[in-house]
Amino acid sequence: MRLRSSIYSFLIIFLLMQFTGVYAETFRFQADTMIGTKATGKESVILSGKAKVWSEDLILQADRIEIAGKDNRYIQCSGGVIGLDEKKGIRFTTSTLSYDRELKKARLEGDSVLEDKENKVVARGRFIEYDDAAGTVLLQINVRIFKDNLVCRSDYALYRRKEKLLEMGGSPVVYKNGDEFSSDRIRVDLNTDDVVMEGQVRGTLKSSTKEKTSDGSTGQP
């Protein structure tokens, strides 16, 4: 049995090399089982059970991973998806992931979390689109973003990683050191934590002795 298992494992590894073109580029994957075809126009590999795909910078893990398209362009992951971009310090978890290796765009669906360790930002949402080339993260549905003493929530948001800017719409609210700000649109400079609001502006400023709202009334904390 051990001999048959070893031969089987060797064949799987050999086939993986053929499908990935491992000799041409640093792109590998592994799993408990594999189903694949190299028919022209229908190239695909399906990995199941502790599936893992990795290149020089990106690591993807999931219960099931499908790789398809010419030069293995498209990757579809489902079930306990974990991703890590080591170079940029990006880590994410989600239910399903679609990734275009050529455009370097990832789409996360389901309860998803993206951690930007470099900028100390944690973002949550039901839909997240990460554009590596543009350096942007689009978040939609039940959006929550955390950084130090900032807590932000909205229906949708655009996070510009390179500029360290956060633009929110859809009933956005920002909580900062006990203060609360809401408006039609809110922009947050994550370098300085400055909050810029546009439209119908409301806010609550808190101190150790009393609370003052935007309409000038006061109350106990």
Domain parsing of the chain, residue ranges:
50-219
pTM above 0.85, yes or no: no
Task: Report how far apart, in Å, the C-alpha atoms of 139 and of each of 75, 90, 99, 103, 129 are.
Answer: 21, 15, 16, 19, 7
Q: Which amino acid belongs to residue 191?
A: N
Query: Mean pLDDT for each 10-residue chunk of the chain (221 residues)?
Result: 38 45 61 78 83 88 92 91 91 95 93 94 96 94 93 96 94 91 93 89 70 41 29
Q: With respect to CATH, is domain 50-219 assigned 2.60.450.10?
A: yes
Please report the pLDDT score of residue 201 as a whole number.
85
Please report the pLDDT score of residue 221 as a whole number.
29
What lies within 8 Å, CB to CB, of 47 at 6+ separation is: 29, 30, 31, 33, 34, 53, 64, 65, 66, 67
Spatial separation of the C-alpha atoms in residues 91 and 105, rounded to whole Å: 14
Spatial separation of the C-alpha atoms in residues 74 and 9, rounded to whole Å: 25
8 Å CB contact between 137 and 115 = no
Spatial separation of the C-alpha atoms in residues 101 and 83, rounded to whole Å: 14
Question: 92, 90, 60: which is closest to 77 by C-alpha?
Answer: 60
Please report the pLDDT score of residue 202 as a whole number.
86
